[in-house]
């Protein structure tokens, strides 16, 4: 036996094993690879070729499924948003021992923090450097905010058509995103999770109080 032949070549590039997948499986694998790549890196730092390689596919195949890097990124944001909204909707089905609007709001905030702590799915880039991501992804972010805006007003029984209420809820959502971004940049410390939730609830309560009486949070 030739010892030289048995010694691995350290310079040889290890490539993921490619196997034949169905269209849905291949698309899911590419999205999963995109989630992993954008978890801590900016949009401009990741290439389609890198994502395809991690998914065990060719760059050409990735382009065939998504058309372009902006479309792939937007699809990843859509995929993450779908998961986040599904988890958030469960807050209305099982808000906890105190099934009131504020309990649902707190549960929603905890879901959001959990989603961010898991990896953010490119979430931080959308907030830190929105100018660096494609408009398709920003449109998905705005769609998500619109859904959360509607859910906040519904959970608290607010008048969604009142311009002052809309302004307050918009400000609340901006506060939550900014506070969560700082929390994420700090490494998502567990001891700050509850204080962040209560500070967001307090900010919304104080702003609504300026418009008139509000229920106790």
For Cα atoms 76, 80, 81, give the angle at the middle one, nearest 5 degrees: 115
The radius of gyration computed from the CA coordinates of the chain, to the nearest angstrom, equals: 22
Average pLDDT of 33-50? 88
Q: Quick one: what percent of the chain has pLDDT higher than 90?
A: 58
Q: Answer whether 15's CB lies under 8 Å from 53's CB.
A: yes
Q: If we measure between CA atoms, which residue out of 72, 76, 74 comes closest to residue 136?
A: 74
At residue 111, the pLDDT reads: 94
Residue 3, pLDDT score = 45
pLDDT, the chain, mean: 84
Whether the predicted pLDDT of 4 surpasses 50: no
In angstroms, the CA 182 to CA 73 distance is: 23
Q: Is the pLDDT of residue 7 over 70?
A: no
Calpha distance 71→75 (Å, rounded): 6
Ordered DSSP codes for 84-105 = HHHHHHHHHH---SS-SHHHHH
Q: Which of the four pLDDT bands, split at 50, 70 and 90, describes residue 93?
A: confident
User: Sorting pLDDT into bands at 50, 70 and 90, what band is 96?
Assistant: low
- Looking up tokens 């196997």, which residue turns up? 19
The predicted structure's pLDDT at residue 54: 93
For domain 73-209, which CATH number applies: 1.10.3720.10, 1.10.357.10, 1.20.200.10, 1.10.760.10?
1.10.357.10
The separation between the first and the last C-alpha atoms of the chain, rounded to the nearest angstrom, is 76
Can you state the percent helix, strand and coil of the chain, rounding each to 5? Answer: 70, 0, 30
Q: Mention every residue, 6+ apart, whose C-beta is less than 8 A from residue 59.
A: 48, 49, 52, 53
Q: Where in the chain is the domain with CATH 1.10.357.10?
A: 73-209
Residue 6: pLDDT above 80? no
Q: What is the pLDDT of residues 60-82, one digit of tens each?
A: 999 999 999 999 999 998 988 99
- Tell me what pLDDT residue 51 has: 95
Question: In the chain, which residues fall in CATH 1.10.10.60?
Answer: 15-67
Q: Architecture of 15-67 per CATH?
A: Orthogonal Bundle (1.10)
Mean pLDDT for the stretch of residues 158-177: 94
pLDDT tens digit string along 44-64?
889 999 999 999 999 999 999
Going by C-alpha positions, the residue among 28, 47, 25, 29 that lies closest to residue 37 is 47
Structure tokens at 71: 């479309």
């Amino acid at each position: 036996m030739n010892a030289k032949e048995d010694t691995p070549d350290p310079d040889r590039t290890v490539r993921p094993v490619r196997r034949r997948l169905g269209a849905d499986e291949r698309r899911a694998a590419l999205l999963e690879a995109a989630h992993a790549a954008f978890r801590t890196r900016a949009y401009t730092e990741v290439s389609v070729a890198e994502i395809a390689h991690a998914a065990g596919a060719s760059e050409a195949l990735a382009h065939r499924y998504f058309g372009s890097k902006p479309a792939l990124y937007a699809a990843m944001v859509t995929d993450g948003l779908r998961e986040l909204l599904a988890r958030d909707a469960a807050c209305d089905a099982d808000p906890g021992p105190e099934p009131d609007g504020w309990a649902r709001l707190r549960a929603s905030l905890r879901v959001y923090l959990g989603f961010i702590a898991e990896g953010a799915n490119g979430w931080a880039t959308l907030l830190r450097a929105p100018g660096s991501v494609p408009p398709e992804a920003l449109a998905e972010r705005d769609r998500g905010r619109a859904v959360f805006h509607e859910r906040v007003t519904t959970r608290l029984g607010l008048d969604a058509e009142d311009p002052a209420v809309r302004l307050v809820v918009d400000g609340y959502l901006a506060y939550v995103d900014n506070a969560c971004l700082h929390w994420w940049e700090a490494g998502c410390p567990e001891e700050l999770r509850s204080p962040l939730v209560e500070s967001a609830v307090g900010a919304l309560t104080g702003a609504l109080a300026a418009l008139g009486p509000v229920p106790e949070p």
